[in-house]
Amino acid sequence: MKTTFKFSLIALLATSAFACTEDTPEPVVPLEAILVEDLAAPNDVIDRTTGQVTEVKPFQFFSLEENALVAENEDWDLAFKGTTIRVNASKNVTAAVVTGIFNEIAEVPASASFATDSGESFAIPTGSGNGWYNYNSATFTVTPIPGRVILVKTTDGNYSKIEILSYYKGNPPAAELNPMTTPSAHYTFRYILQPNGTTTF
């Protein structure tokens, strides 16, 4: 896994307009979008004839604050395995899935319903079409649903927005992807973390 800083975002008009009305204007720091590439999170091995799990794989625990994989007992925000993404319920991490364009989401919408994982449901719903991906049973391909953005309130109480770009190694363009040969369960995503605790990005 490697992390790069590729995307930058100009501070939002709303924020700057608000800032201008202050007597002592704060310098506007553009938030950087962080690109995480090829986070490998292999799924359990399933015997296809019986549906039984024959080999359990571990979740991969990721901290948005640190932009790094961490241990399960550390302050992780998200955990990945196969197409499942958990949030850290024990540290009160919550998440919501909203529809929109990543760059256009300037603020956590009031309508976003944040939830955490429970024994019965996931904050980021699993299953094709429910959460962040569609599964095409004709081409056997998992594709992130364009326009789905995951909002996460981290262990530190900061908001971040995440867009998952690819489930396949090397983030191949859709047309070049062969689900039979390209390794899956390799997440590429980008996110912006607002470290000051506000709901704007």
Partner 1 sequence: MFRINLNKIILLFSLTVHSVFAGSDIVKQIRDEKGSPIPHATVQAKGSPAIVVDKDGKIQTELAESESILIFALGYEPLQISWEDWIAQDIFVLKEKAGSLQEVVVAATRTDRTVEDLPLPVNVLNEKSIQETGGIRLSEILREQTGLQISGDHGTGLQMQGLDSDYILILLDGEPLIGRTAGTFDLDRISVSNIERIEILRGPSSAIYGSEAMAGVVNIITKSTEEETRLDLGLRHRSFNSWNPYADLGFSKGKWSTKLFYDYMSTEGYDLTPELIGQTQNPYQAQTIQLKINGKLHPNWDVGLFGRGYLENSTGELETSGTSGSELLNLDNSRRDFNFNPTLRFTPNSKILMTLRGMSSWFSTVADTRFNSDGGIFDFQDFNQFYHRTELQTDFQIKENQLLTLGIGHLIETVEATRYEGTNRFDAGYLFLQHQWDPGKKTNIISGLRADFHSQYGNRLSPKISGQYRLTENFSWQASVGAGFKAPDFRQLLLNFNNAAAGYYVFGSTLAQEGIEKLQNEGLIARILLDPANLGDLKAESSWALNTGFRWKVNPKFLWVGNAYRNHINDLIETAPIAQLVTGQNAFSYFNISQVITQGIETDLSYQATGNLQLSVGYAFLDTQDAEVLDRIDAGELFKRDAQNRTRRVVRSDYGGLFNRSQHSGNIKINYQDQWTGIDFALRAIYRGKFGFADLNGNLILDDESEYAPGWVSVNLTASKTLKNGIFLEVGATNLFNVQTTFEPTNPGRVLFAGLKIPFANLIQTK
Where does this chain bind partner 1 (CB under 8 A)?
45-51, 54, 83-84, 99, 101-103, 120-122, 125-130, 133-134, 136, 138-139, 141, 143-147, 163, 165, 171, 173-175, 177, 180
Q: Closer CB to partner 1, residue 133 or residue 201? A: 133
Q: Closer CB to partner 1, residue 160 or residue 188? A: 188
HSE-up of 83 (CA within 13 Å, CB side)?
16
CB of 195 to partner 1, least distance (A): 24
Find, among 92, 158, 86, the residue nearest to 119 by Cα: 86
Find, among 145, 42, 41, the residue nearest to 99 by Cα: 145
CB of 118 to partner 1, least distance (A): 9
CB of 85 to partner 1, least distance (A): 10
Q: Closer CB to partner 1, residue 158 or residue 164? A: 164
Please give the backbone phi and psi of residue 194, each rounded to the nearest 5 degrees, phi first: -95, 105
Residues 155 and 138: their CA atoms lie apart, in Å, by 39
CB of 193 to partner 1, least distance (A): 19
Q: Closer CB to partner 1, residue 113 or residue 130? A: 130
CA 176 to chain centre: 23
Give the residues across from 190 on adjacent strands. 35, 163
